[in-house]
Amino acid sequence: MVTQNCINTYSTYSSTTGEIKPNQPAYGATLTNNALNITGDGTAYTVAGFTEWYDIGSDFASATGIYTAPVDCMFYFSGNFYGNGGLTAAHTKTEIKVVTSNRTYVNNSFSWQFYEKSGFGSYFWTVIADMDAADTATYTYTVYNGTKTVDLFAARTYVQGIFIC
Amino acid sequence: MVTQNAINSFYTVGSNQELTKTLQPAFLAQVIPAELNATGDSTVVEPVVVDSERYDQNADYDGAGTYTAPVGSKALVTVNFNIEGLAAAHDILCSIKNVGIKEYYVMWGTQIGDVADNGGHAAFSPTYVLAFDAADTSDMYINVRGGAKSVDFSVDFSFAITQMQ
């Protein structure tokens, strides 16, 4: 079965593949360059400068890291922020925020929970956000209580989003 | 209302307009029984054999740790890495693999002594959106190192993928 108008195929479904919606908004991107000495002293760093894996709908601005919702929707965001050294015992709190037009979602943790003692390691997070058309979403990364020596490692830092409904 | 062809019912809408897709590729599996002494001494485990299927719509999971995409698609991957038998000396490398395309690092060098509770138990539950081409596969990689081969995968260790679009 194919559901379409004269221009676009919106949704196809077969007994072997299930439903696919090839034009449904979704994006995935990785940080282009290591971000060095960006936080550690409470500085909220807006994570930007991405290289896209895919961007269906062209709603993700890779340079700024801003996602703009094309329609009213529920949207899934997830990512992995990977520390690349610079974290010390003084850095006792890590905070990741997904800042949307409607509200801000806060993920925080005692830093050692996800980082090993050389300052390497992952911090993964997930949010489902209610968005209105033209609402935006960005990400901030903040490490507290130490010096501004904390990095993000490009190859293992990524963000993703997918339209749910 | 039911939208269907001669064989399959693809979309079903309930009385309150809930849309369900009962043939959409999706599976959930757990490690039952627990896999004992699987790693800890740098033994690489890939794929993690998550062998007890709770459901497997469309039969795209092989029951042994590997999912094969039936079509080019985006899928939501959720994992519960649930590990026991950890000692302070252990550190962990684990990832979700979009085999041949992208490796999503979950923990990489994290000191388990900082993550595990006093009983040597740790659990972490990342979620990601993976982009598949038809016949691409996904599995999980774990290598716990730095100590004895005493690390178990508990019965709460799970692997789930749902095709989103």
Write the ipTM.
0.82
CB-CB neighbors (< 8 A) of B21 in chain A: 13, 18-19
Determine, for residues B131 and A54 on separate chains, whether the beta-carbon distance falls below 8 Å: yes
Going by the DSSP 8-state scheme, the letter that residue A146 receives in this structure is S
Distance between start and end Cα atoms, chain B: 22
Q: What is the mean pLDDT of chain A?
A: 87
Q: Is-above-0.80 flag for pTM?
A: yes
- For the cut 50, the answer to whether the pLDDT of residue B6 exceeds it is no
- For the cut 80, the answer to whether the pLDDT of residue A116 exceeds it is no
Residue A16 at interface with chain B, using a CB cutoff of 8 Å: yes
CATH topology of domain A24-163: Jelly Rolls (2.60.120)
Kindly list the distances between the CA atom of residue A41 and the CA atoms of A92, A94, B15, in Å, as whole numbers in the listed order: 11, 11, 54
Q: Which of residues B121 and B40 earns the better pLDDT score? A: B40
Q: Distance between CA atoms of B160 and B126, rounded to whole angstroms?
A: 11
Q: Residue B15: inside a domain, yes or no?
A: no
- For the cut 80, the answer to whether the pLDDT of residue A121 exceeds it is no
Q: Residue B142: inside a domain, yes or no?
A: yes
Q: Distance between CA atoms of A11 and B105, rounded to whole angstroms?
A: 32
| Domain count within chain B | 1
Residue-range domain boundaries for chain A: 24-163
CB-CB neighbors (< 8 A) of B57 in chain A: 18
What's the rounded mean pLDDT across residues B7-22? 78
Q: Residue B4: inside a domain, yes or no?
A: no
Q: Distance between CA atoms of B77 and B73, rounded to whole angstroms?
A: 12
What's the rounded mean pLDDT across residues B59-69? 96
Nearest alpha-carbon partner for A61 in A49, A53, A71: A49
What's the rounded mean pLDDT across residues A13-38? 91
Kindly list the distances between the CA atom of residue A87 and the CA atoms of A32, A106, A116, A145, B161, in Å, as whole numbers in the listed order: 21, 20, 9, 11, 33
**What's the CATH number where B155 sits?**
2.60.120.40
Specify the 3-state DSSP secondary structure of B24: coil
CB-CB neighbors (< 8 A) of A53 in chain B: 102, 131
Q: Distance between CA atoms of B123 and A92, rounded to whole angstroms?
A: 21
Neighbouring-strand partners of residue B124:
B81
Q: Distance between CA atoms of A93 and A84, rounded to whole angstroms?
A: 16
Q: Domain range holding B78? A: 24-163
Query: What tens digit of pLDDT does each residue of A59-87 get?
Result: 999 999 999 999 999 999 999 888 877 88
Residue A153 at interface with chain B, using a CB cutoff of 8 Å: no
- pLDDT band, residue B76 (cuts 50/70/90): very high
Specify the 3-state DSSP secondary structure of B114: helix
Q: Which of residues B96 and A35 earns the better pLDDT score? A: A35
Q: What does the pLDDT read at residue A114?
A: 52
